[in-house]
Structure 1
Amino acid sequence: MAEAENTARPASEERGEVSLVLDGATMALRPSYEAIFAFEASTDKGLLELARAALEGKMRLADLSQVVTECIRAWGRATQQPSIAASNAVRIGQLIVEAEGGMARVLGIVSGMLSMAVTGNFTASGEVKAGTTTTSEVPAES
């Protein structure tokens, strides 16, 4: 993954994406429904179980690689980058180990993203849901 390959827009918090630097390239992780479905199927673990493992620092590299890969693929599809959408989980796992801060740093980023997904902060397309606003104002009488 060379920096030159990555010409898409950066991660967008409004879209529920988080940034991750792998091999010098800034990638975005997009926790879309398709990504969640794919990493649940490939790990044979549910979203809640994976989020808990990540938060407790007990997620295996194989599972972390699948989660990261599927979220990168979702971002690649959303930004119409076929090479990113075709990312390979084995290579992503190698890049996680080699990343600055290693697996621990990547796990911290992924645990935050999975926590938001578990709590329902994302739409099915992976975008952050609008927050509910409350006010103490009393409606005007008609």
Structure 2
Amino acid sequence: MDWKLEVVVVPVADVDRAKLFYGEQVGFVVDHDTRIGDEIRVVQLTPRGSACSIVLGTGVAEGVPGSVKGLQLVVSDIDAARAELVERGVDVSKVQHFDNGVQVEGRGGDWNSFLFFSDPDGNSWTVQECPAGS
């Protein structure tokens, strides 16, 4: 039996602000924005090419806005990913890698080039470059 992770709930303080950030700035696809009565709103967004989505909303998350840390995306070209995020107005780190456990600026070897950014609430993301052919 396969077990597939398909949705991660990301707690946010302002659903409209977060939808704009993830949809317009980060470039996730807005799958739907559904209201279920006055108390529940579900906004699902999916990173391009991903089988896993995030859900923002009211009445769907018990976590504290900004409490999700270390969500990770994988891209084939870290420099292109950074350029796209910068162009879209995301405050993203420079490309970094780890050298003997220390985070330093610049590209690393296979699987060792990263970017970091946070949403307006402080939920944090890592973007990692996947080596060609992996």
Q: TM-score, normalised by structure 1?
A: 0.26
Say which structure is richer in helix: 1
Q: Which has the higher strand share?
A: 2
Larger C-alpha radius of gyration, 1 or 2? 1
TM-score calculated relative to the size of structure 2? 0.27
Higher relative contact order (CA 8 A, sep 6+): 1
